[in-house]
Amino acid sequence: MYVRHGLNSGAPARSASWRGSLCLALIGGLAATGVGAQTGTGTTAGSTTGTGMGAYASATEPGLAQQDQHGGGGSYGSAYAGSDYSWIPYTRRGYVGVSLGNSDYDTPCGPAPFSCDNRDRSVAIYTGGMFNDFLGLEIGARHFGKVNRAGGAVRAYGANISLVGMLDMENVNFYVKAGAIYGHTKLTADPLSGVPVGTATGWGPSATIGVGFNFNRNFNVSIERSRDRFRLAGSGRTYVQSTSLALKYRF
């Protein structure tokens, strides 16, 4: 009786221990499944967030690149920013332009009764670029027409290079140009006038002052006054002044 009782009392204990181990295993499996599901959800959410941020960055990058090329917020920002493109090495914010105006020669007329005048049309073409917001470099060519002098005529033209100082605001800009012109002059005259004739070439100072108005990011119209010095045949020199209307296209 004692042995049978002992065997019967031990069987329920072993059955209970087996059921407890099974419950613990099920609980552990469910817990692991829940953690994996949460981790997967977090990873998916992170991937979705990363994809969304990448799409946003891709969508905004062209706008940022465009702002870097053409300037900050607003139509101009505080000033025209321009692009990095220029025909002048080591400069940016490049431009090309053309100007038309009136020239005024400071040449002697010779003795009377020879006809004399000092004014004609002038034309110039140029290109330039900026080293920074205030300083740039410009090269160009100018022709100042032909005027009567001492029974003949004088004409002057040349190629110039200038440093440009600019204060560029939202709708208006002020600038000065200072440099040199390599000029060519040709003089003709009546033999009785006693005025030297022939051609002359050489360097002379060149200066311009102007004010411009911005229509948009690319087009600018300005009014400018220039003064250039040329050599004349017979070791003489003369100044030619011009007042011009210029049209500038900025890259």
What's the CA gap between 212 and 162, in Å, rounded? 18
> 78 — phi, psi (to 5°)?
-80, -20
Amino acid at 129: G
Higher pLDDT, 59 or 143: 143
What confidence score (pLDDT) does residue 192 get? 85
Residue 170 DSSP class: S
Q: Do 51 and 97 share a domain, yes or no?
A: no
Please give the share of the chain, as a percent, with pLDDT higher than 90: 53
Q: Do 58 and 99 share a domain, yes or no?
A: no
Domain membership flag for residue 78:
no
- For residue range 181-233, what is the model confidence (pLDDT) as tens digits? 999 999 998 888 888 899 999 999 999 999 999 999 999 999 999 999 999 98
Q: What is the pLDDT confidence band of residue 114, given thresholds at 50, 70 and 90?
A: confident
Domain total in the chain: 2
Tokens of 203: 């360097």
Distant-in-sequence, close-in-space partners of 104: CB < 8 Å, separation ≥ 6: 118, 119, 240, 241, 242
The pTM of the full predicted model, rounded to 2 decimals, is: 0.67
What's the CA gap between 136 and 160, in Å, rounded? 14
Domain membership flag for residue 83:
no
Q: Do 96 and 172 share a domain, yes or no?
A: yes
Q: What is the pLDDT confidence band of residue 98, given thresholds at 50, 70 and 90?
A: very high
137 pLDDT above the threshold of 70: yes
Give which of 117, 111, 106 is closest to 191, Cα–Cα: 111
Q: Do 34 and 115 share a domain, yes or no?
A: no
What's the CA gap between 86 and 129, in Å, rounded? 6
Domain membership flag for residue 151:
yes
Q: What is the pLDDT confidence band of residue 142, given thresholds at 50, 70 and 90?
A: very high
Give which of 151, 142, 159 is closest to 99, Cα–Cα: 142
Range of the domain at 163: 92-250
CATH code where residue 97 lies: 2.40.160.20
Domain membership flag for residue 53:
yes
Structure-token match 């099974």, residue found: 22
Q: Do 36 and 124 share a domain, yes or no?
A: no
Q: Do 150 and 204 share a domain, yes or no?
A: yes
106 pLDDT above the threshold of 60: yes
